[in-house]
Amino acid sequence: MVVPIAVPIAVPIAVPIAVPIPVQSNRDRPAIVLAAPACEMRSTRPAVSGPAVELGDVTKVYGAGASAVLALDRVLLTVERGEFVCIVGASGCGKSTLLSLVAGLDQPSAGSVQVRGRTALMFQESALLPWRTAVGNVELALKLNGVARAVRRARALELVALVRLSEFADKRPHELSGGMRQRVALARALAQDAEILLMDEPFGALDAITRDVLHDEIERIAAERALTVLFVTHNVREAARLGDRIVLLSSRPGRIVDEFGVPVERPRRIESPEIAGIAASVTVRLREEVRRHAS
């Protein structure tokens, strides 16, 4: 009998290089502010064509006169349906402003914001109602979304199971860990039947291991539900772990200064050399931006 012997072979690891994508420029596009289309409250989604999000030369100024703050400057961004786009940039560069415009919570000072589909927002703080249980918080979101009482509990339990929290369905927020609370917040966002998930540093307050597990969960759920995700973070590794594409905003005013494709197969590992390589390229670019701003 021939016993195969494992022969160690030095296998070169192909580390993909972040692929810079040329930043678009469209001076010829008309600056029309388009409101996000009103969407019906139903779970059977109508077929809609076109990108999920289109920002056309979006500028946002807070205040007026000498105290005016230019938060975003002619941001041009298209997010395709089902795409996972991470937005990175230094603190104060306009990341949250960008998400609030896409969510329709605020209007741009100039430019167009077009959103095709329902959006749901998720923040660093879970902002759960403390007197409601995990499933009760999700149920409330379903109620606000017009879901009939008879099916609400079952739907809420399904969503709690989706975020792998069934065992803790009847616990109140103070009885849950930070990671669990963010799972409930995710289930609550999904209860809004959104196709576009807007996440503003959602895992920023969690420890590295919990964050790692939640990366796996959001990756799985986004794929299962064919979600479009706009994910804001200042953690470049996290962006490389999650994004199909990383958009880099300059320090104030926020401008898109670079975009990087992430050609790494899923499921991914944050500690993989491929992810580390891409994160390193983005970090170099981000550092340049922060330095430029500081000088």
Binding site for ligand ADP (CB under 6 A): 62-63, 69, 71, 89, 91-97, 252
Number of residues near Mg ion (by CB under 5 A): 1
Site string for Mg ion, 63-102 (x = CB under 5 A): ---------------------------------x------
Number of residues that make up the chain = 295
Closest to ligand ADP by CB, 50 vs 63, is 63
DSSP designation for 252: S
Q: Which is nearer to ligand ADP, 87 or 156 (CB)?
A: 87
Residues whose CB is less than 8 angstroms from the CB of residue 246 and which lie 6 or more positions away in sequence, other chains included: 18, 85, 86, 87, 88, 236, 239, 240, 259, 260, 262, 278, 282
> With CB cut-offs between 5 and 8 Å by kind, which of ligand ADP, Mg ion, none does residue 152 bind?
none
Q: Which is nearer to Mg ion, 96 or 166 (CB)?
A: 96
Structure tokens, 202: 């959602």
Least distance in Å: CB of 46 to Mg ion?
32
Contact of residue 252 among Mg ion, ligand ADP, none (CB under 5-8 Å per partner type): ligand ADP
8-state DSSP, 254: B
**What distances in angstroms separate CA 148 from CA 62, 144, 152, one per listed residue?**
40, 10, 6
Question: How far, in Å, CA of 117 to CA of 50, rounded?
Answer: 10
CA-to-CA dists, residue 266 to 18, 242, 253, 269, 275, angstroms: 16, 9, 34, 9, 11
DSSP 163: T
Whether 240 and 84 have beta carbons less than 8 Å apart is answered as no
Least separation in angstroms between CB 68 and Mg ion: 19
- Among Mg ion, ligand ADP, none, partner that 144 touches (CB below 5 to 8 angstroms by kind): none
Q: What are φ and ψ of residue 4, in 5° steps? A: -70, 135
Contacted entry of Mg ion, ligand ADP, none for residue 92, CB cut-off 5 to 8 Å set by kind: ligand ADP
Q: Of 93 and 190, which CB lies nearer to ligand ADP in the complex structure?
A: 93
DSSP structure string for 28-68: TS-----PPPP--S-SSPPP--S-SEEEEEEEEEES-GGG-
71 binds, among Mg ion, ligand ADP, none (CB under 5 to 8 A by kind): ligand ADP
- Of 173 and 202, nearer to ligand ADP (C-beta) is 202
- From the list Mg ion, ligand ADP, none, which binds 41 (C-beta under 5 to 8 Å, kind-based)? none
Looking at the Cβ atoms of 121 and 163, the one nearer to ligand ADP is 121
What are the residues binding Mg ion (CB under 5 A)?
96
